[in-house]
Amino acid sequence: MAQDPTDDEEYSAILPLIDRDLVRGEFNGGKMFLPLQSFPSLFARDKIEADLPGASKELIDFVSGRATKTFATVLQALVGHPKSFTTSVMESFKINGFDDSFLPIDKQQLASCPHDCGGHKSALNVFHNSPLKQCIYLFSTYQWAFLAPRFPLAKDLRVLDRDCILPFTEYGGIIRGGTFGEIRRAKIRVDHQAVIPQASGPSEVYVAVKKFKSKEKISLPESEIPDPRHAWSREADSMEEFATSNFANTHITRGIGSFSTNGEYYIIMPWAMGGTLREFWEHMNPCPELCGTLIADFLEQYMNLAESLCDLHCQSNSEEGLENISFPVPQGHPQPQNSILNSKDPDIDINRDGSNWRHGNLKPDNILRKQDGDRLGPLMIGDVGLAKKHKDRTLTRLSTNTRLGTMDYEPPEAFDNSSAKSRAYDIWSMGCIIIETIVWLLYGNEGQKRFYNESYNPKTGTRYYIAQDTFPERKLNDNVLKWVGHMLNEDPECNRENPSSALRDLLNLARNELLVVNPPKDYDNPGKDERINAETFCTRLRDIIRRSKDDSYLFTGVNREGVPIPDFTDPSQTQEVGLASLTQRLAAKF
């Protein structure tokens, strides 16, 4: 019979310390787990020796070096037993070769197996012996308190047992939903991830947890819905391989990890302290006061993003540069294992010639603000789950059979599954973002709402372009041309040709060189009438910033009182009517 477990000389001194350090995990409905940070102090060699009287040096070495989680589980499962009994039990684990690598155990398999069976690894024979055979259920239950994972997980470890306790000490409701997934805010133990710096900061930080929707929750035709498991696995592969590439000096966030449990699929990402670019537009400054400082902020931040795209698109396949490129998230604010690329994946392009990446899902919702407050920047490119590594040039790759990102920001080639998607995909998306930025700068939220409310047929294109059967097969949407034409011709901040202005040149850059329907056949050497690459994009922005040293170029200072918001709601204006004349007007201006 077990004695009163209050005698410190007779019973475990570590067990009450474990109970003291257990933390409540909110993802799994309040189950308790021991943080990784507690293991070194709780299971120091001197404490193990004190809890295992009469143990040999070999047993102490075994427990401290290979079986601390097994030892902790034994203490919980055999509570009330004296130390000497625990010593004999741990000696049995050592003799059978059972260490932490055999955790978790399957209680159903062990409870039903006959003595000395050959149905499992020999190390599990330790549970054939009494009294461990009688406490299999307790052992299998308590083991989970010491098995909370640390992210990122190796590819073969991403699918977790439904009983596995996740290290989230907060797990909130849905804060943002999309067609294929939803985002929740969570707080994770810093010691259970390898991306956000730990140093002397808080023990917990906010993260964003993306959950993939099941097919029945997606309101699209069955043929257009990707399999959630495949989509999750593909994003997880890309995100975690991306995390090992050399992007230490870029404005690109690094994903934290991924996991699947109970038939659901999740991605963990940094939480943006200042929200997203779209949230900045909508909530921080719905009616911005146009000034040189604000324009300069956008130019600086878009220059950073352009340079990051340049690094992304021209990245070489290097094993160096695994520095942390994510940003720390302070406590109290809403926000070493890596998977190996599966070379047999048909979506991965392999060639001996270098390598590069494209993001594939750039949009205002994936441009994150690193800091909270009134200032715009620093901005970071987030959600790299759809980023894809190319190891050969676009011309030599097979066709891409999947859509990449949000339709509104996809280029015209997204509708064509017969050819590969190049890095120029991201350049088009940046053109869309710049157009929407200028609309917001000039006309605020109300202007953006009108711009977004312009009608278009999603079956034949997006807000920005039209795909059709007649020549030209692809062209910019007339609505975009009308808005661009109005800003260049009518708005006092953009209608000055000589000298020009920063916003006018930025608008022309987006219209003439980014929103070009023809992607380059050779991304590194775009031809005439083809979309430019990231390097040229950087050059153009750098020139605008250089000229912005002239205050009157950066911001004309013209009084904007009474400047009307464009309104093109006249039902008599159709997609075809006026397109030729408007194109001629714009061509004359450009």
Among 51-65, 88-102, 163-177, 334-348, the minimum mean pLDDT is found in: 334-348
Q: Which residue has the higher pLDDT, 571 or 459?
A: 459
pLDDT at position 555 is: 97
- Token digits for 510? 């987006």
Please compute Rg for the chain using Cα positions.
Answer: 29
Domains 155-270 and 277-316+350-589 share a fold: no
Cα torsion through 195, 199, 205, 211, rounded to 10:
10
pLDDT of residue 22: 97
Q: At the fourth CATH level, which superfamily is domain 277-316+350-589?
A: Transferase(Phosphotransferase) domain 1 (1.10.510.10)
Residue 61 scores a pLDDT above 60: yes
**Segment 245-256 mean pLDDT:** 70
**Per-residue pLDDT at 51:** 96
pLDDT at 405 over 60: no
Q: Which of 336, 301, 366 is nearest to 506 (CA)?
A: 301
Q: Would you state the structure tokens that stand for residue 91, as one six-digit string?
A: 């000696």
Residue 88 binned pLDDT confidence (cut-offs 50, 70, 90): very high
Q: Domain-by-domain residue ranges, the chain?
A: 14-146, 155-270, 277-316+350-589
Low-confidence winner among 235-239, 320-324, 410-414 (lowest mean pLDDT)? 320-324
Q: Which of the four pLDDT bands, split at 50, 70 and 90, describes residue 538?
A: very high
pLDDT tens digits along 151-186: 999 999 999 999 999 999 999 887 777 778 888 999
Q: Of 379, 356, 359, 516, nearest to 426 (Cα)?
A: 359
Q: Which residue has the higher pLDDT, 201 or 36?
A: 36
Q: Whats the size of the chain, residue-wise?
A: 590
pLDDT greater at residue 212 or residue 223: 212
> What is the tens place of the pLDDT at every residue in 322-374?
233 332 222 333 332 222 233 333 232 223 234 566 777 889 988 989 877 78
**pLDDT score of 490:** 95
Pairwise CA distance, residues 325 & 320, whole Å: 13
For 447-476, b/e burial (b = at least 16 CB within 10 A) is bbebbeebebeeeebbbbbbbeeeeeebbb
Q: Coil, strand or helix: which one is 33?
A: strand
Please enumerate in sequence order all residues whose Cβ is within 8 A of that of 84, keeping only pairs 6 or more positions apart, or say none.
Answer: 53, 54
The Cα 320–Cα 571 span in angstroms is 58
**Nearest Cα to 76, choosing from 6, 167, 15, 161?**
15
The architecture CATH gives domain 155-270:
2-Layer Sandwich (3.30)
How many CA atoms lie less than 13 Å away from 493 in the CB half-sphere? 24
Per-residue pLDDT at 73 exceeds 70: yes
Please give the residue that has the higher pLDDT: either 56 or 584: 56
Write out the two tokens for 119: 């149905």
Q: What residues are paired with 493 via a beta bridge?
A: none
pLDDT at residue 313, rounded to an integer: 77
- Give residue 178's pLDDT: 74
pLDDT score at 11: 86
Tell which residue, 425, 410, 384, has the closest CA to residue 520: 425
| Among 286, 251, 283, CA closest to 270 | 251
Average pLDDT of the residues in 480-501: 94
Reply yes or no on whether the pLDDT at 586 is more than 50: no
Q: Which two tokens stand for residue 109?
A: 């398999």
pLDDT of residue 397: 31
Residue 311: the pLDDT is 80
pLDDT band at 582 (very low <50, low <70, confident <90, very high): very low
Cα 84 to Cα 129, 197, 441, distances in angstroms: 17, 42, 74
Does residue 328 or residue 144 have the better pLDDT?
A: 144
* Cβ atoms 213, 219 nearer than 8 A: no
Tokens 């969570």 appear where?
186
pLDDT at 386 over 90: no
Look up residue 5 and give its two tokens: 């477990």
List all residues 6 or more positions away from 197 whose beta carbon is below 8 Å from its beta carbon: 324, 328
Backbone angles phi, psi at 235, to 5 degrees: -65, -40
Three-class secondary structure of residue 336 per DSSP: coil
Report the largest interatomic distance among the alpha carbons of the chain, rounded to a whole angstrom.
97
> pLDDT class for 116, splitting at 50, 70, 90?
low
Number of H helices, E strands in the chain: 17, 14
User: Does the pLDDT of residue 479 top 50, yes or no?
Assistant: yes
The pLDDT value given to residue 483: 96
Cα separations (Å) of 68 from 62, 82, 281, 407, 506? 9, 18, 51, 50, 60
Q: How far apart are CA 565 and CA 519, in angstroms?
A: 32
Distances (CA, A) of 527 to 16, 411, 524, 532, 559: 71, 18, 10, 8, 41
Binning pLDDT at 50, 70 and 90, where does residue 318 land?
very low
Tokens of 37: 């940070």
CB atoms within 10 A of CB 156: 9
Within 10 angstroms of residue 313's Cβ, the number of other Cβ atoms is 23
Assess whether pLDDT exceeds 60 at residue 3: no
Through-space distance between the first and last CA atoms of the chain, rounded to whole angstroms: 92
- pLDDT at residue 387 greater than cutoff 50: no
Contact, 83 vs 117, CB < 8 A? no
User: SS3 of 55, please?
Assistant: coil
What letter does residue 284 receive in the DSSP assignment?
I
* Whole-number percent of the chain with pLDDT over 70: 78
Give percent above pLDDT 90 in the chain: 49
- Does residue 194 sit in helix, strand or coil? coil
User: What average pLDDT score do residues 523-551 get?
Assistant: 94
**Single-letter residue type at 341:** L
Lowest mean per-residue pLDDT among 26-35, 65-74, 173-182: 173-182
Structure tokens at 218: 């997606």
Residue 273 has what pLDDT?
79
**pLDDT bracket for residue 310 (50, 70, 90):** confident
Q: In this model, does residue 4 exceed pLDDT 50?
A: no
Q: Which of 46-55, 351-360, 488-497 has the lowest mean pLDDT?
A: 351-360
The helix/strand/coil state of 385 is: helix
Output the pLDDT for position 383.
64
Helix boundaries (H) for 185-269: 228-242
Is 556 in a helix, a strand, or coil?
coil
| 422 or 154, greater pLDDT | 154
Average pLDDT over all residues of the chain: 80
- What confidence tens digit (pLDDT) does each residue in 260-282 have? 999 999 999 888 878 889 989 98
DSSP at 453: T
pLDDT of residue 421: 65
Sheet holding 264-270, edge to edge: 159-160, 257-261, 264-270, 204-212, 181-189, 168-177
